[in-house]
Amino acid sequence: MRPMSSPSLAALFLSLAALAGPAQAADQVVKIGASLSMTGAAAVYGATQKNGITLAVEDVNRSGMLPGVKLEAVVEDDGSSKEQAISVYQRFINQYKVAAIIGPTLSTMATAADPIAQMQHVPVVAVSNTAPTGITDIGDYVWRVSLTEKQVIPGAMKTAQAKLGFKTAGVLYGNDDVFTKAGWDVMKATLEQLGIKVLGTQTFAKMDRDFNPQLTSLLGQKPDVLVISALAENAASIVPQARQLGWKGPILGGNGFNSPSFIKNAGPSAEGVLVGTSWNSASADPVNEKFKAAMAARGFTADQFAAQAYTGVLVIAEAIKQQGGKAGREDVKAGLAKVKDLPTPLGKFSFLPNRDGQHEPAVQIVKDGKFQILH
């Protein structure tokens, strides 16, 4: 049999291609940078944020929400430091050419890194920065999913006071971090508004491990409640030390307490601790139930920081959808302005005119070794 000539081979391939139909176009890959604290003082938050982001990217890509678009998360460690966060942002913007950035984990790093994104016109979605001022004020490319301390603490304190009836307080806060300092500023204003007398105020630094001097001073004034603004790592030492000194009264923590690692590391001492939260873990909303089940199926513990990070990805995906699948940096920015009543694990999510997030907060209490909603 004679070998088939080249023209005949070409005709055969063309015929087969015609029978197969038009070739599927490859999906457009849209990169999202995630600057997370995988090491350093905020590492307990970064690990769970990564879990939330990974799950959200998988869910969006599988859902068909963005036809022809595939999201890809580029995760880098900001080291819980301003300098490292700046370097990560520069790589995201110049090397990876990301469409948007999620992070960094702490407000302190955000105040240093976000201005770089603002200058380069790269949208940023903050998923755990809660300082009331200094985040979205950076510029119109900075958006925020996480509720500020001003949105969460007043309601939490009011609910706790109504239930426990405290009239005096002793206060302890970290004075070397934007996050914990901002928490204290809101706590102070709220205590004044509620007519709760502050008997004493003490401070500490992130690197401190012995809090007995400050706690001894506060407890000696016999307050009705201890109010503490601290990162989870410090909180997990402060609470047991307070209990060891004989404190059996209520403790109201700031947003930094919202980590399962706090309960794990503080142990039985964490029982009864109250904290405001931007994620209602007990919500029966279908999106929240699906999120919790998916996290559990992957062996992850769902918490506020994972829920916020997951929501950050959903918000960016919705922005791209609002722009008809366009995912340029300006498209994402324009789309973010159109996000309204988006179903998320946090509840129906919208952006306020100042680009801060809006949804309903809640109050948690540590009971039987886990966070439960205070009713």
Which residue's structure tokens are 């949804």?
359
Asked whether the predicted pLDDT for residue 237 surpasses 70, the reply is yes
Residue 343 has pLDDT above 90, yes or no: yes
Q: Is 317 exposed, middle or buried (0-12, 13-18, 19+ CB in 10 A)?
A: buried
More confident residue, 17 or 96: 96
235 contact partners, CB below 8 Å, separation of at least 6 = 228, 253, 256, 257, 262, 266
Q: SS3 helix, strand, coil % of the chain, rounded to 5?
A: 45, 20, 35
CA angle 32, 38, 41 (to 5 degrees): 130
Percent of the chain with pLDDT over 90: 81
Q: What is the overall mean pLDDT for the chain? A: 91
Q: What are phi and psi of 170, to 5 degrees?
A: -115, 135
Query: E strands, 78-182, where?
Result: 100-102, 124-126, 142-144, 168-174
Examine the pLDDT at 148 and tell me if it is beyond 80.
Answer: yes
Please, what are the domains in the chain?
A: 28-147+283-359 (3.40.50.2300), 150-277 (3.40.50.2300)
Q: What are the distances in angstroms from CA 358 to CA 144, 162, 375?
A: 9, 24, 22
Banded pLDDT at 13 (limits 50, 70, 90): very low
Peptide bond into 104 cis (omega under 30): yes
Q: pTM of this prediction? A: 0.83
- Is 87 a residue whose pLDDT tops 90? yes
